[in-house]
Amino acid sequence: MQFDSYIYALFLPLVFAGYWILRNKLMWQNLFLLVASYIFYGWWDWRFLALILITSTTTFFTGLVIKNDHSLRSKTWLSLNLIINLGILGTFKYFNFFKDTFSDILKLFGANPDFITINILLPVGISFYTLQAISYSFDVYNGKAKPTRNVIAFFVYIAFFPQLVAGPIERARNLLPQFLKKKSFDYYNAVIGMRQILWGLVKKLVIADNLAGYVDNILYHPSVMNATSIFMAAIIFAFQIYSDFSGYSDIAIGSARLFNIKLLPNFNYPFFSRSMKELWQRWHISLMTWFREYLYFPLGGSRCGKLRTCLNIMIVFAISGLWHGADWTFVIWGAVNGLMLLPFVFLKKHKYSNHARFRDIPKCVLTFMIFALIFLSFRSPNISHLQECINTLIHGSYLAIPMGISAFYYIVPFVIVEWIGRKQEFPIMTLKMPTILRWAIYWGLLFLLAFYSARADIQYIYFQF
């Protein structure tokens, strides 16, 4: 079930009504949310509900037996749970990737392997809820979270439908306690949630989906394009994936607000960053903070000297790239982004103000251009396609008129609105103005959705991860 589908437009109000009808009955509210979440996920393929049940069950019972004593017994149970969950993720997401890589290595030595071809379907959202389950186990093991005996609340924590498929990736210490205490309806929070859902739909349907066509046309055969067109495609794709994924996050966070549940922010106006380091503090925040806490810090973080810090950064970003997709193009994307951060290990720390100002625009533009060009690796379906893009950028003409200029019809107004609203969680979060003007904005955004939404049914990009 996609957020921008008619079925979700029916599903969400029904769940909202049923949830608050059961107010003051916490167990029934959680059970209702659990059933609704399983219906939401099962709408794609009900068979994959078994995987969520396995992850939820093993993680719940592991949490009950793990103690905050780092004993051999606790380490054994923690390791067992990691093996089960990472085993499921590895099988469904990386089996073919590792098989093909191993086959290519054997061919280098003259072997001609003939592996049985197995086409494994990737369950939507598996990367997200697996990381969420793993974080719970580690938090209990390290004493950062108390194990819960409320099985229904825990199952909802893993499967909560707004953030089940593509995050934000929640920590147990933030989300789980919200399912363990009674909540009262908050009208103002619900209004904010509806505004955020509306803004997320505009980002997805009006901005991202319309930009998708430009990117597809230019990058279909990059070898026959001029360099300016490939450069333009990189810019457009950066805005497409940002609008697509942050639009999903807005709808997820806004939907949760209707139930008076607060999810972590996932984006903080990343394209107004003044350096690559700042950009990665503002981009996919829930994932990067997850890797920082559960991978970077255990590796030693920045406590073991500058060279070791550089190695730790490269490991984290290479794994982050592989997490995004089972292809070497994603590993390259992660590794190059990691390389861009290494100079900051040796530079004197500089603190920027919270929000970019007009005088920072040149830095923001330069940072964005670097980030967008690196994204060509993310967008390329394979290494040969990426090579074609790079060859065109190096040897192609920069004097020709680029394709896709009309995409700025969508990009420029979007950037202006985001710049004006950059001090808020999302641009239309607080509309302190006369009622008639506020409703004019609502109707204006609804007009955009009605008349400027892309006609094609385009799946959210991060559903493939």
Final residue of a structural domain among 166, 185, 204: 185
Name, in order, each residue with C-beta under 8 angstroms of 133's C-beta and a sequence gap of 6 or more.
55, 56, 59, 85, 158
d(CA 207, CA 255) in angstroms, rounded, equals: 20
pLDDT bracket for residue 244 (50, 70, 90): very high
Same domain, 16 and 52: yes
For the record, the structure tokens of 322 come out as 């592989």
For the record, the structure tokens of 312 come out as 């730790």
Average pLDDT over residues 59-77: 88
Residue 327: inside a domain, yes or no? no
Same domain, 177 and 197: no
d(CA 225, CA 246) in angstroms, rounded, equals: 30
Q: Which of 394, 396, 395, 376 is nearest to 386 (CA)?
A: 376
* Percent of the chain scoring above 70 in pLDDT: 93
d(CA 273, CA 365) in angstroms, rounded, equals: 9
pLDDT score of 343: 92
d(CA 225, CA 228) in angstroms, rounded, equals: 8
Q: Which of 63, 7, 62 is nearest to 36 (CA)?
A: 7
Same domain, 215 and 169: no
DSSP 430: -
d(CA 320, CA 12) in angstroms, rounded, equals: 32
Average pLDDT over residues 93-120: 63
pLDDT score of 362: 95
d(CA 31, CA 25) in angstroms, rounded, equals: 10
Same domain, 377 and 426: yes
Same domain, 218 and 255: yes
Average pLDDT over residues 179-184: 90
CA separation, residue 82 to residues 117, 133, 138, 175, 407 (Å): 27, 9, 10, 21, 45
pLDDT score of 232: 94
Same domain, 149 and 206: no
Rounded to the nearest 10 degrees, what angle do helices 227-257 and 383-395 cross at? 130
Place of tokens 């808020």: 424
Could you tell me the residue range of the domain that residue 257 belongs to? 188-274+352-464
Report how far Cα 132 is from the mean position of its chain's Cα atoms: 13
Structural domains in the chain (count) = 2
In the chain, the amino acid numbered 90 is G
DSSP 457: -
pTM of the predicted protein model: 0.91
pLDDT score of 68: 81
Average pLDDT over residues 203-213: 93
Rounded to the nearest 10 degrees, what angle do helices 49-65 and 26-42 cross at? 140
Same domain, 261 and 154: no
* Percent of the chain scoring above 90 in pLDDT: 65
Please state, rounded to an integer, the average pLDDT across all residues of the chain: 89
Same domain, 27 and 143: yes
Residue 267: exposure state from Cβ atoms within 10 A (0-12, 13-18, ≥19): buried
Residue 298: inside a domain, yes or no? no
Q: What is the phi/psi pair of residue 144, to 5°? A: -90, -15
Average pLDDT over residues 257-279: 94
Average pLDDT over residues 101-108: 61
Report how far Cα 199 is from the mean position of its chain's Cα atoms: 17
Name, in order, each residue with C-beta under 8 angstroms of 144's C-beta and a sequence gap of 6 or more.
138, 173
pLDDT score of 106: 60
**DSSP symbols for 140-198:** HHTTSSPPP--HHHHHHHHH-HHHHTT-----HHHHGGGGSS-----HHHHHHHHHHHH
Q: Helix H segments across 258-305?
A: 276-282, 285-291, 297-299
Same domain, 221 and 259: yes
3-state secondary structure of 398: coil
Which residues carry out catalysis?
Answer: 324
pLDDT score of 105: 66
Whether the predicted pLDDT of 200 surpasses 90:
yes
pLDDT score of 91: 84
3-state secondary structure of 112: coil
Whether the predicted pLDDT of 101 surpasses 70:
no
Final residue of a structural domain among 185, 203, 236: 185
pLDDT score of 72: 86
Whether the predicted pLDDT of 428 surpasses 60:
yes
pLDDT score of 457: 74
Same domain, 45 and 179: yes
Same domain, 56 and 146: yes
Cβ atoms of 84 and 58 within 8 Å: the answer is: yes
pLDDT score of 434: 87
Final residue of a structural domain among 185, 202, 220: 185
Average pLDDT over residues 223-246: 93
Report how far Cα 402 is from the mean position of its chain's Cα atoms: 30
pLDDT bracket for residue 112 (50, 70, 90): low
Same domain, 110 and 180: yes
pLDDT bracket for residue 417 (50, 70, 90): very high
pLDDT score of 70: 80
CA separation, residue 140 to residues 54, 146, 346 (Å): 19, 6, 35
Whether the predicted pLDDT of 116 surpasses 60:
no
Give the tens place of pLDDT for each residue, 295-353. Answer: 999 999 888 889 999 999 999 999 999 888 878 899 999 999 999 999 998 887 767 67
Whether the predicted pLDDT of 455 surpasses 80:
no
Whether the predicted pLDDT of 115 surpasses 60:
no
For the record, the structure tokens of 353 come out as 């103000």
Q: Which of 165, 190, 177, 189 is nearest to 248 (CA)?
A: 165
pLDDT bracket for residue 89 (50, 70, 90): confident
Residue 343: inside a domain, yes or no? no
